[in-house]
Amino acid sequence: MELSEACGEGLLVRKIVEGTVVDHIPPGKAIAVLKVLRLWPPKPDGYRVAVVFNAESRKMGRKDIVKVEGHHISREEAAALALVAPSSTVNIIRGGVVAEKWKVKPPEVAEGLLRCPNPTCITRKEREPVKPRMRLVSKEPLKYRCVYCGSTIGQDEIEGYILV
C-alpha cells in the first residue's frame, strides 16, 4: 500500500521513506500524541515531524495525523499512545511503503505509564516508591484503577497522569 493511501489525500507534506504515521487520532489530540511520543516541545536536533489537524475522515468526520520521519515507534510508545488517542492506527513505513499497520490497544495493565492520583498511595512514596500499576477497568470511556489503592483515572484525566 502506498503511503498516500494510508494518510489521506491532499496532504501538503511529502512522503516519508522511513518512519511512522499515526493516523485516526481524535481531532485535537495530535499535541497529546506528540507529548507521549516525547516529540513535544520540538527540539532543533529532533526528528522531523509533520502534523495535520482536522484532516477529512470518512470514518470519524475529522481526525489528526502525526508523521514522524526516521523513527519507528515501539510497542511501549504505542501503549502510551493508546491512553491519549485510543482510536489511532500506527503505520510503520519502511522503504516508502507501509510495512506494518496496527490499531493501538490500551494495555490491560499500565505499568509505569500512569501516576496514581492518590498522593498517599504507596506508588508515590518518596523513599523506595513502588512502580505504579493501573488496571484497565473500562475501554469506552477509558478508565484505569490503581492496583494498590483502588484510585481511578477516567478518560478525561488520563493526559495529566501520563508518566512517559
Residues making contact with Zn ion (CB under 5 A): 116, 118, 121, 146, 148-149, 151
Q: Which residues contact 14 (CB under 8 A, 6 or more apart)?
A: none
Least separation in angstroms between residue 7's CB and Zn ion is 39
Using a 10 angstrom Cβ sphere, with 0-12 exposed, 13-18 middle and 19 or more buried, the burial of residue 109 is: exposed
Shorter beta-carbon distance to Zn ion: residue 70 or 112? 112
Shorter beta-carbon distance to Zn ion: residue 59 or 131? 131
Examine residue 129 and say whether the peptide bond preceding it is cis (omega within 30 degrees of 0): no
- Sign, CA dihedral 45-63-16-163, equals positive
Shorter beta-carbon distance to Zn ion: residue 6 or 147? 147
Least separation in angstroms between residue 126's CB and Zn ion is 15
Distance of alpha carbon 152 from alpha carbon 145, whole angstroms: 4
Shorter beta-carbon distance to Zn ion: residue 31 or 149? 149
The answer to whether 35 and 93 are in contact (CB under 8 A) is no
Least separation in angstroms between residue 36's CB and Zn ion is 21
Least separation in angstroms between residue 135's CB and Zn ion is 11
